[in-house]
Amino acid sequence: MSGTAPNDSFHIEGGARLIGEVTVTGAKNSALKLMAASLLAVGKTTILNVPDIADVEIMSELLTRLGCTVEFERTTHAVTIDVPEVPGSRADYDLVRKMRASINVLGPLVTRLGHAEVALPGGDAIGSRGLDFHIQGLRDLGAEAHSEHGYVIAIAPNGLRGADITLDFPSVGATENLMTAAVLAEGITTIDNAAREPDVVDLGEFLVAMGAKIEGLGTPLITIEGVKKLNPTTHATLCDRIVAGTWAFAAAITQGDLTIHGARAEHMEIPLEKLVAAGAVVTTTADGIRVRMDQRPQAVDVATLPYPGFPTDLQPLIILLNAIAKGTSMVTENVFEGRFMFVNELVRLGAQIKVDGHHAAITGVEKLSGAPVMATDIRAGAGLVLAGLVSDGETIVEAGYHIDRGYPGFAHTLADLGAKVWRE
Ligand code: UD1
């Protein structure tokens, strides 16, 4: 979200080992996309296991402005969206700029209405995030699409028609937008070099439950046979592998012991391998994983890559782990070039890191030293709060609203696990 709320900082007193149990709820990056895709069917769609985070409120507001009735039942984590026969076709800048995932209404709106205008999104300060693959893909599907005065405008008065699309990079957002556009297009669409993230698979399965015909989910080639109409459905969002990964790293970084209910090890293979290489003991439990660390971590090299590679969203966490590890390491960022903004903040806490292009060379130090720092995006914010736990004295993380966008009740959960963390 943009704009700093008053008293929006996290205060952390260093020194705690995190010990106990956490439960991971639904994935932000899946729930938001399912909510946007509900626009494809007239009537009431219900999405279960939705996290109670600020971004869900923004998406609810966006859908409400498009004419939907949205109810979020917080106790059961269920969102019900009642979609009208003819929703609005314009998503305004004041909402879209607060959240990148707003762009996901583009595909559903243009395929259903033949016309959509969506403001160019803002989102996190993690680097330039183009929309060229989205626009080119919609053109391949027969739309007239361009950006003008800060909006993406897509027009297809006679509907979309199936096409063979190849993405230059397996973009998550472009795969999702084009998949949700192609489900109502006439004929067959293929998306080659498609993203394979579990979030994309979840969205695809949701569309299939609505009546879409999709094959190849989770592979680089997705095939979609357009249907005339989709029906509302009920679908549970999958658990958040990035939040689960954050807790797994939190255990290792603080030399703690966390049981993470809801974590799915099969969605986190490479991050968990890195934790084991760093010296953590990782075991699977009946409904999740347990991560225990009894020693100072060992430095590990890593390069971020599209799924199943090491996720860019966990890059700040592995940089933090390396910053306090024994030895030196290299972290290479291949997805978002701006993501090293976090490093400057970590250096304020005494980390020894040198950035050269998309590489960060890290020399581990035994302890960091508390200072005021600024959260620049959701994951960097979570990383800085955890950095405060391994810093001497008090750390203040400003712009805490970033963390609220992705981590429900982060400060409370940390306090339950033994940390001295509070909001001011
Ligand atoms: C999504 C996630 C984000 C995650 C990222 C990669 C949401 C809301 N966000 O972001 O948390 O870090 O996937 O796993 O789900 N690109 C272009 N042109 C395009 C589209 C993308 O050049 O048209 C570039 C981007 O600038 C970036 C790379 O492709 O360098 C990957 O972006 P993409 O996979 O699209 O990420 P998002 O969907 O924005």
Ligand 1 centroid–CA 391 distance in Å is: 32
Backbone angles phi, psi at 308, to 5 degrees: -85, 20
Determine the atom of ligand 1 nearest the C-alpha atom of 172: 34
d(CA 399, CA 374): 6
Residue 124 reports pLDDT greater than 70: no
> Who contacts 396 (Cβ-Cβ below 8 Å, separation ≥6)?
9, 10, 11, 12, 371, 372, 373
| Helices 315-323, 241-253: crossing angle, 10 deg rounding | 0
Backbone angles phi, psi at 197, to 5 degrees: -55, 145
136: tokens are 């080119």
- What pLDDT does residue 386 have? 98
Determine the atom of ligand 1 nearest the C-alpha atom of 337: 30
- What pLDDT does residue 89 have? 96
- What pLDDT does residue 20 have? 98
**Average pLDDT for residues 36-56, to the nearest whole number?**
96
Q: Is 133 in the pocket of ligand 1 (CB under 6 A)?
A: yes
- Domain parsing of the chain, residue ranges: 10-24+239-423, 28-230
- What pLDDT does residue 129 have? 61
Q: Is 58 in the pocket of ligand 1 (CB under 6 A)?
A: no
pLDDT averaged over the chain?
94
- What pLDDT does residue 208 have? 98
CA-closest candidate to residue 400, choices 376, 421, 417: 376
Q: Is 378 in the pocket of ligand 1 (CB under 6 A)?
A: no
Ligand 1 centroid–CA 316 distance in Å is: 17
Starting at the edge strand found earlier in the chain, the sheet holding 43-48 runs 69-73, 78-83, 43-48, 234-236
d(CA 124, CA 239): 22
Nearest CA to ligand 1 atom 8: 101
pLDDT band at 2 (very low <50, low <70, confident <90, very high): very low
For residue 262, CA distances in Å to 8, 204, 215, 245 come to 29, 21, 27, 11
**Average pLDDT for residues 319-348, to the nearest whole number?**
94
- What pLDDT does residue 7 have? 55
Which residue is it, tokens 């106790």? 75
For the beta carbon of residue 130, count every other beta carbon within 10 angstroms: 12
pLDDT band at 123 (very low <50, low <70, confident <90, very high): very low
**227 neighbors 183 (Cβ within 8 angstroms):** yes
**Average pLDDT for residues 285-292, to the nearest whole number?**
97
- What pLDDT does residue 130 have? 82
Structure confidence by residue, pLDDT tens digits, 369-399: 999 999 988 999 999 999 999 999 999 999 9
- What pLDDT does residue 67 have? 98
**Average pLDDT for residues 199-209, to the nearest whole number?**
98
Q: Is 254 in the pocket of ligand 1 (CB under 6 A)?
A: no
Residue of 129, 131, 193, 246 with the most ligand 1 atoms within 8 Å of its CB, for mutation: 129
End-to-end CA distance of the chain: 18
Catalogue the active-site residues. 124
d(CA 11, CA 29): 27
CA-closest candidate to residue 16, choices 349, 350, 409, 422: 422
Structure confidence by residue, pLDDT tens digits, 298-324: 999 999 999 999 999 999 999 999 999
Structure confidence by residue, pLDDT tens digits, 256-266: 999 999 999 99
Residue 187 reports pLDDT greater than 70: yes
Residue 409 reports pLDDT greater than 60: yes
**Average pLDDT for residues 222-237, to the nearest whole number?**
98
**Average pLDDT for residues 72-95, to the nearest whole number?**
94
d(CA 194, CA 405): 26
Q: Is 100 in the pocket of ligand 1 (CB under 6 A)?
A: yes
Task: Please list the alpha-helical segments (H only) found in 141-237.
Answer: 172-182, 198-209
Does the fold of domain 28-230 match that of domain 10-24+239-423?
A: yes
- What pLDDT does residue 338 have? 72
310: tokens are 């090491």
- What pLDDT does residue 99 have? 87
**10-24+239-423: CATH number:** 3.65.10.10
Ligand 1 centroid–CA 424 distance in Å is: 32
**28-230: CATH number:** 3.65.10.10
Give the total residue count for the chain.
424
Ligand 1 centroid–CA 192 distance in Å is: 16
Ligand 1 centroid–CA 173 distance in Å is: 6
**Average pLDDT for residues 129-148, to the nearest whole number?**
92
Backbone Cα Rg of the chain: 21
- What pLDDT does residue 341 have? 86
Cis peptide before 308 (omega within 30 of 0): yes
Beta partners for residue 313, in sequence order = none
pLDDT band at 4 (very low <50, low <70, confident <90, very high): very low
Structure confidence by residue, pLDDT tens digits, 17-33: 999 999 999 999 999 99
